[in-house]
Amino acid sequence: MKQPAVQLGTAKSEVLGEWLTDNRNRLTLMARPGTGYASVWLSYHGQPVKIGRALHAGGVVREVSWEGLWAEQTDTWKSQQRSLITALIAARHAGQSPAPKAELPSSVLGTFNIDGFRFAVEPTLAPEHAILSAINVAGGLTPVADLLHENGRICGMAPRPGGKSTPEDRKRQWRRETEAILTHATTEGRI
């Protein structure tokens, strides 16, 4: 399904994709058909603000540059955004339309992003047990850890086989984020 063209400036651009950064900023990649140019836009108070551009040829990104304050972002942030931009441009060049945004199951209590990966927290039938899952691009959930909690406070976390090799600092981030989601869900009476 082809995305609608959006008028920005004097040339029509097509939306290649949208994503959220770790800081919950929504970015949009727009491309002018038939050119080797794409632009990155930030939704700022409902208004699009151009924050970067990508030059590409044959579906291969040659350069990504950032404007203003966005040029001062960390190398990790820039690398994450470049990876997403590269994937979207390659997919469009290959004739693939952007993947439709999949809806997460209604059981998901909350989500968070760490280092370009998105995670979801879901309760189970046992009130003290929850599951932490990685969310793939199609919206599928892959469990990475089991969580034991008491009124939202994490008492124990057991990584599943795919998550056992995860670095300890990442596991600590998982714990902080999941505890915040579970505590909030408990105070709202959702678990």
Residues 14 and 43 in one domain: yes
The answer to whether 52 and 65 are in contact (CB under 8 A) is: yes
Indicate whether 84 belongs to any domain: yes
The CA distance from 133 to 121, in Å, is 6
pLDDT of residue 116: 65
pLDDT tens string 85-142: 988 888 887 776 554 455 778 889 998 887 667 889 999 988 899 999 888 766 778 8
d(CA 27, CA 13): 15
- Indicate if 84 and 140 belong to the same structural domain: no
What pLDDT, on a 0 to 100 scale, did the predictor assign at position 51? Answer: 93
Instruction: For 53-79, write each residue's pLDDT tens digit.
Output: 999 888 888 999 999 888 888 888 888
Residue 123 and residue 153 share a domain: yes
pLDDT digits (tens, 9 = 90+) for 92-105: 877 765 544 557 78
Q: Are 67 and 125 found together in one domain?
A: no
Residue 103 lies in a domain: no
Res 181: pLDDT = 93
Answer yes or no: do 13 and 74 share one domain.
Answer: yes
Helix (H) or strand (E) holding 150: strand 141-150
Split into its structural domains, the chain has a count of 2
Range of the domain at 64: 5-93
pTM of the full structure: 0.50
pLDDT surpasses 70 at 157: yes
